[in-house]
Structure 1
Amino acid sequence: MENEAFASFLFFGTLLVLKMYAVAVITGQVRLRKKAFANPEDALRHGGLQYHREDPDVERCLRAHRNDLENIPPFLFLGAAYSFLGPDPSVARLHFLAFFLGRLAHTVAYLLRLRAPLRSVAYVAAQAPCLSMALQILLAEFRRAL
């Protein structure tokens, strides 16, 4: 691929999607281990309606997954758009790597209940490259319009 920035974006975007799948699998495993099923038919299959219930550990997994769903799609848009601005490939790779590592750290901190403010720091670390890319996209369009 000639666009090195876009190739890096595809690599890190794919890793992020795989990370989201991993959190979904972890959620399912926690449901099975804790016998806490969201649907009555699943509870019946695994022992009875008493297992149609919520569990704090399952809810934690779901919140981590929901947080990914709120943050990764905007990155996918911004990263793709930014890649086509012709950024320096090394700088682009740093943006994508920083976001990926921030999201990975956020998930680990969430699922393992690591002490505050680790999760918040990871969140901000992942948002910084998104803000940078968004500003560069807007600046490029502003310059083009002049």
Structure 2
Amino acid sequence: MMEETYKENSVFSCFLFYAVLLVIKMYVIAIITGQVRLRKKAFANPEDALRHGGLQFHREDPYVERCRRAHINDMENILPFLFLGAIYSLMGPSLFVARLHFLVFSLSRLLHTLAYLLALRAPTRSVAYTIAQIPCVSMAVQILMSVMAYA
């Protein structure tokens, strides 16, 4: 049943492709954060610190915090995109326009993550964040305009 749904709707298939890539990116950032915690011996919980050498390792590390903030920022931005993109995909937009929305958002979020993790010069991260908001606002406005008649 699901296979028929997304094969019949090329926009939804396109959305699924980018959505899954973004979710995988979020998992990768979570893994990176955990690996950096281990490498830097900077654990958020005392029990983890005790397991890895002692309570002196129950501490914050600037790079761990940078990774963690990148992950939190992804959750704050990718999760709304997943909701908006799914609804937008089901509204029958042009495949070209929808793909452009999904591509711009995804590439901008990738650049945002790289800017965060590699501490790229400002304003790289904030420009990437802002550009990623454009397709989300566009999709939200189109959804609202489409459903206003029914509200």
TM-score, with normalisation over the residues of structure 1? 0.96
Instruction: Report the AA paired with residue 86 of structure 1.
Output: G
Higher relative contact order (CA 8 A, sep 6+): 1
Task: Give runs of aligned pairs for residues 46-57 of structure 1, distance below 5 A.
Answer: 46-57=52-63
Task: Give runs of aligned pairs for residues 1-146 of structure 1, distance below 5 A.
Answer: 1-142=7-148, 144-145=149-150
Instruction: Report the AA paired with residue 77 of structure 1.
Output: F
How many aligned positions are there?
145
Percent of aligned positions that are identical: 70
How far apart, CA to CA, are the structure 1 residues paired with 2:95 and 2:26? 25
Q: Residue deviations 1:4-48, cap 9 Å, x none?
A: 110011110000100000000010111011000111111111111
Taking only aligned residues, the RMSD between alpha carbons, in angstroms, comes to 1.2
Deviation at 1:91, TM superposition (A): 1.0
- Partner of 2:8, secondary structure, is coil
TM-score, with normalisation over the residues of structure 2? 0.93
TM superposition outliers: structure 1 runs of 4+ over 2 Å:
none
How far apart, CA to CA, are the structure 1 residues paired with 2:60 and 2:141? 41
Gaps of 5+ in 2: 1-6
Deviation at 1:90, TM superposition (A): 1.3
- Partner of 1:63, secondary structure, is helix
Instruction: Report the AA paired with residue 78 of structure 1.
Output: L
How far apart, CA to CA, are the structure 2 residues paired with 1:91 and 1:130? 13
